[in-house]
């Protein structure tokens, strides 16, 4: 609100003093009406993340009445904390946070609250105890994102139904440790391993959700002579890297090794159609319009839902077509 007031006063001063308006904006246009949103984004580690950033840019555009300031934290929580402090200092109207990990937000979100700036969390979750009103610690306005444990359970259930009692040696490529996406998906596989004593975990490491690390890890396992039947990759980009490593070693993904992945980006769905990825659980990144709707609710003085889980599905190749893939938003 403070920023809008400043922008309004600047516009009035410009009118009186005859200074040039920002390009494409005349002084009587709605420049002073823009809602200023500071968005602390995790990084650009994956196709999913880039689709998420684009969705925010499209929904919170100047044409829609917003000025969006994006800070790319390069997967570092410390950078996100600094970005949030900068947003507070600039007096933005709203802060949107896509948190790297769940923990460590109490202090800086307390600062945003003290400054009277609503915080909307998207994608991954933060420590739920920070939303405990009884303890006076309701540090964010609302959250919109995925049920990562449900995604993991969907993938594990597919493996169980596809392979039944067949013994499986599993490689597990994890996301960055402490992120809800890693915590939820890994917990599901752990439960699957307990339920299925004929499954063996032969390797497990974090590939930080990146293609390069996914490839590096699988190359290292192959070099060590580790044998495996399944790769459980916690996102598509790590699956792409794993596929490259397998192909370079003369193995056929989908035949020699079954790949299960998460996100269901367009490129990954093409690989599902080609049989290289066997099962892909959707993780929907299109949060921009949802954030816009929440801000509009808040502007009208309405209270948004505290937690919104987005609808997601999964793909095993059946019913997939080029037309369907092209019609998807990411």
3-class secondary-structure state, position 45: coil
- Cβ proximity to ligand AHR: between 39 and 48 the closer is 48
3-class secondary-structure state, position 43: coil
Residue 208 within binding range of ligand AHR, rule CB under 6 A: no
CB of 115 to ligand AHR, least distance (A): 27
Residue 181 within binding range of ligand AHR, rule CB under 6 A: yes
Question: Which listed range, 42-50, 56-64, 133-141, 303-311, lies at the site for ligand AHR (CB under 6 A)?
Answer: 42-50
CB of 263 to ligand AHR, least distance (A): 5
Q: How far apart are CA 205 and CA 174, in angstroms?
A: 6
Which listed residue (48, 158, 221, 232) binds ligand AHR by CB under 6 A?
48
CB of 34 to ligand AHR, least distance (A): 28
Site for ligand AHR in 134-173 (CB under 6 A): none
CB of 76 to ligand AHR, least distance (A): 14
Contacts of 305 (CB under 8 A, 6+ apart): 142
- Cβ proximity to ligand AHR: between 3 and 41 the closer is 41
CB of 12 to ligand AHR, least distance (A): 43
Question: Which listed range, 44-52, 53-61, 63-71, 114-122, lies at the site for ligand AHR (CB under 6 A)?
Answer: 44-52
Residue 49 within binding range of ligand AHR, rule CB under 6 A: yes
The 245-284 contact track toward ligand AHR, x by CB under 6 A, reads -----------------xx-------------------x-
DSSP single-letter state for residue 143: E
CB of 73 to ligand AHR, least distance (A): 12
- Cβ proximity to ligand AHR: between 93 and 123 the closer is 123
Contact 279, 316 (CB under 8 A): yes
Consecutive H or E run containing 69:
strand 66-72
Q: How far is CA 148 from CA 8, 92, 94, 234, 312, in A?
A: 42, 30, 26, 10, 10
Question: Which listed range, 46-54, 156-164, 214-222, 297-305, lies at the site for ligand AHR (CB under 6 A)?
Answer: 46-54
Q: How far apart are CA 186 and CA 181, in angstroms?
A: 8
Site for ligand AHR in 54-73 (CB under 6 A): none
Residue written as tokens 């993340």?
49
Contact 95, 86 (CB under 8 A): no
Q: How far apart are CA 19 and CA 38, in angstroms?
A: 27
CA 135 to chain centre: 29
Residue written as tokens 């689709």?
51
Residue 235 within binding range of ligand AHR, rule CB under 6 A: yes
Q: How many helices (H) and strands (E) does the chain have?
A: 11, 12
Contact 74, 98 (CB under 8 A): no
3-class secondary-structure state, position 244: helix
Residue 46 within binding range of ligand AHR, rule CB under 6 A: yes
- Cβ proximity to ligand AHR: between 158 and 209 the closer is 209
Q: Which residues pair with 226 in a beta bridge?
A: none
Residue 87 within binding range of ligand AHR, rule CB under 6 A: no
The 278-317 contact track toward ligand AHR, x by CB under 6 A, reads -----x----------------------------------
Structure tokens at 83: 């970005």
Q: Could you tell me the strand order of the sheet in which 168-174 lies?
A: 199-206, 168-174, 230-233, 258-263, 279-282, 314-315
- Return residues touching ligand AHR (CB under 6 A): 45-46, 48-49, 123-124, 181, 209, 235, 262-263, 283
């Amino acid at each position: 609100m403070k920023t809008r007031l400043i922008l309004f006063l600047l516009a009035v001063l410009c009118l009186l003093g005859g200074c040039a308006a920002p390009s494409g904006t005349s002084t009587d246009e709605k420049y002073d009406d823009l809602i200023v949103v500071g968005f602390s984004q995790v990084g650009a580690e994956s196709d999913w993340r880039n689709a998420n950033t684009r969705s925010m840019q499209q929904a919170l555009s100047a044409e829609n009445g917003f000025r969006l300031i994006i800070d790319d934290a390069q997967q570092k929580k410390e950078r996100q904390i600094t970005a949030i402090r900068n947003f507070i200092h600039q007096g933005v109207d709203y802060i949107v946070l896509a948190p790297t990990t769940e923990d460590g937000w109490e202090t800086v979100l307390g600062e945003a609250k003290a400054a009277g700036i609503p915080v909307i969390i998207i994608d991954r979750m933060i420590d739920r105890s920070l939303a405990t009103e009884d303890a006076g610690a309701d540090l964010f306005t609302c959250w919109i994102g995925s049920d990562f444990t449900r995604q993991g359970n969907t993938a594990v259930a597919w493996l169980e139904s596809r392979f039944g009692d067949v013994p499986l040696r599993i490689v597990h490529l994890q996301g960055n440790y402490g992120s809800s996406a890693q915590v939820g998906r890994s917990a599901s596989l752990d439960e699957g391993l307990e339920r299925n004593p004929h499954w063996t975990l032969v390797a497990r490491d974090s590939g930080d959700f990146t293609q390069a690390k996914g490839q590096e890890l699988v190359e290292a396992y192959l070099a060590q002579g580790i044998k495996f039947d399944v790769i459980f990759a916690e996102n598509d980009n790590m699956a792409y890297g794993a596929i490259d490593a397998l192909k370079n070693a003369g193995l056929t993904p989908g035949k020699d090794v079954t790949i299960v992945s998460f996100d269901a980006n367009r490129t990954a769905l093409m690989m599902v159609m080609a049989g290289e990825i066997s099962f892909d659980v959707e993780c929907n990144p299109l949060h921009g319009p949802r954030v816009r709707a929440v801000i509009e609710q808040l502007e009208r003085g309405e209270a948004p839902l505290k937690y919104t889980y987005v609808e997601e599905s999964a793909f095993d190749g059946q019913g997939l077509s080029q037309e369907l893939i092209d019609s998807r938003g990411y």
